[in-house]
Structure 1
Amino acid sequence: MDHDRSDATRSAVQAFLTRFGEGDPERTAALFAGTVDWMIVGDPAVVPWVRARSTRADVAAHFRELGENVTQAEGSPVVDALLADGRDAVVTGVIIATIRGTGKDFRTPFALRLSVEDGLLTRFHLYEDSLAVARAAGL
């Protein structure tokens, strides 16, 4: 295992988590490469911010739309583990939030698989209880 690379990956992921928590979509997106392997499972007809993305501009749009539609509970997401191995990382925890349009709360465990190249995020795969999110969004 390449400890230096794992440490660099861990630092990039921690920077992402910090910026995400600050709520600035442009600054968050600046941590991503120009092209991103992006995946969030869900139905964009019900949860529009989960659609396909592939560029840094798309990433900024995702975080803008997420902020417009979802209010994170204080302290959410709750991260319980961040594992880094070379260029890859996995973050696990719980998301607690409210859909603005319906006022409905949801809580979902999550796993986030990320990859980092040259200090930038190149992969963002989010696994969550998409049915809980869809139900809160009004499914």
Structure 2
Amino acid sequence: MADNAERAAQEAEVRETVGTFFRLVGEGDADRVADVFAEEIDWFVPGDEKVLPWAGQRTRREQVPDYFRTLWPVFVHDESEVSVDKMLVDGPDLVAVGKSSHTVAANGRRLTTLMAFRFTVEAGRIVRFHLFEDTDLVVRTVTAPN
């Protein structure tokens, strides 16, 4: 019985931590988003960093704000929608699936893509963040002419 209670408590902590991440992203404060990450992290966002400068790996909490400060200006402020349709938790791991839709500031094109996130949470901090999306679509939409 204690194992079930411990597992339920762990999964609640994981859901709460990831929920805080999504809430802080929505509030647009890159520094506060970084606060939910551990000092050392396994972060991966796919893509060619020469084309998508926010893409790539990060290994330290202090690198998190730069990701958002690089990504957010690519899109028109207040014209983004992100929905998380499902969160699946297994111990310290959580997979969230959903959809995002943004207007690209440079060309006015709308980018809508399905997304999946893989999180791992330890001691109330995110230690793994991997994003999966249609990177080809992102590149084509972000780099398209006006």
Name the TM-score class by shorter chain: over 0.9
| Cα deviation, residue 102, structure 1 | 2.6
Moved more, 43-52 or 14-23: 43-52
C-alpha contact (below 8 Å) 2:80/2:100 kept by paired residues: no
Please tell me whether the aligned partners of residues 80 and 103 of structure 2 are also in contact (alpha carbons under 8 angstroms).
Answer: no
Alignment-derived partner of residue 15 in structure 1: 20
For 1:124, the aligned partner's letter is: F
Would you say the 8 A contact 2:17–2:125 is kept in 1? Answer: yes
Superposed, which structure 2 residues align to 1:65-104 within 5 Å? 65-71=70-76, 76-104=81-109
Pick the aligned partner of 2:52 from 47, 53, 58.
47
Segments of structure 1 that go 5 or more residues without pairing to the other structure are: none
TM-score by length of 1: 0.93
Superposition misfits of 4+ residues, deviation over 4 angstroms: 72-75
RMSD: 1.6
Q: Mean alpha-carbon deviation: is it higher for 85-94 or for 74-83?
A: 74-83
Distance change (3 Å), C-alpha of 1:80 and 1:73: farther
Whose Rg is larger? 2
1:31 counterpart residue number: 36
Aligned residues of 1:98 and 1:136 also touching (Cα < 8 A): no
Instruction: Using CA pairs under 8 Å that are at least 6 residues apart, name the structure with larger relative contact order, 1 or 2.
Output: 1
Please list the CA deviations of residues 90-139 of structure 1 after superposition, one character each: whole Å capped at 9, or x if unmatched.
Answer: 11000101222232221100000000011000000000000111011116
Asked whether the 8 Å contact 1:72–1:96 carries over to 2, the reply is no
Deviation at 1:52, TM superposition (A): 2.1
Q: Which residue of 2 aligns with 1:6?
A: 11
Q: Verify the 8 A CA contact 2:101 2:112 in the aligned structure 1.
A: yes
Q: Return the match for 1:108 from 85, 104, 113.
A: 113
Pick from 114, 122, 128 the counterpart of residue 123 of structure 1: 128
- Shift in Å at residue 74 of structure 1? 5.1
CA contact (8 A) 1:88 1:115 kept: yes
